[in-house]
């Protein structure tokens, strides 16, 4: 049974950093697409970063480019999201998602079959 478990959320001040982790259980990935989405209060869910674990290719939404970094540790079946220079508008529930194949073009939530339970990130000014 495939399961994603996120951790690392919390409450920080603007300008600070957080690192989110997402562990993939029940599947030893070799070439999957792992992504981070977020949903802020009153907003639609937004795809912000993805990584193709087979080739390491990454993609970022403009809203986080240059501040967030997605990375992988294949030995730990884990994907990370390093978030620097956090802003109040980054406040959201952050979700990890997986598609057990190479990444598709774009970053649509309908492309991902497995989702974690979410971890809350709150950034105060």
Give the pLDDT score at 29.
62
**Mean pLDDT, rounded, of the chain:** 94
pLDDT average, residue stretch 108-120: 95
Q: What per-residue confidence (pLDDT) applies to 22?
A: 97
pLDDT by residue (tens digit) across 66-93?
999 999 998 889 999 999 999 999 999 9
102 phi-psi bin (left φ>0, alpha ψ -120 to 50, beta other): beta
Phi then psi dihedrals of residue 10, to 5 deg: 170, -170
Tokens linked to 5: 């478990």
């Amino acid at each position: 049974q495939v399961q994603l478990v996120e951790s690392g959320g919390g409450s920080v001040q603007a300008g600070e950093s957080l690192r989110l982790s997402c562990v993939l259980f029940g599947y030893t990935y070799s070439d999957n697409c792992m992504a981070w989405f977020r949903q802020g209060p009153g907003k639609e869910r937004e795809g912000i970063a993805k990584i193709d674990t087979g080739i390491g290719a990454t993609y970022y939404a403009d809203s986080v480019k240059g501040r967030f970094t997605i990375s992988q540790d294949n030995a730990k079946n884990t994907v990370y999201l390093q978030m620097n220079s956090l802003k109040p508008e980054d406040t959201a529930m952050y979700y990890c998602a997986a598609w057990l194949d190479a990444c598709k073009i774009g970053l649509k939530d309908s492309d991902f079959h497995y989702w974690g339970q979410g971890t809350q990130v709150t950034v105060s000014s």
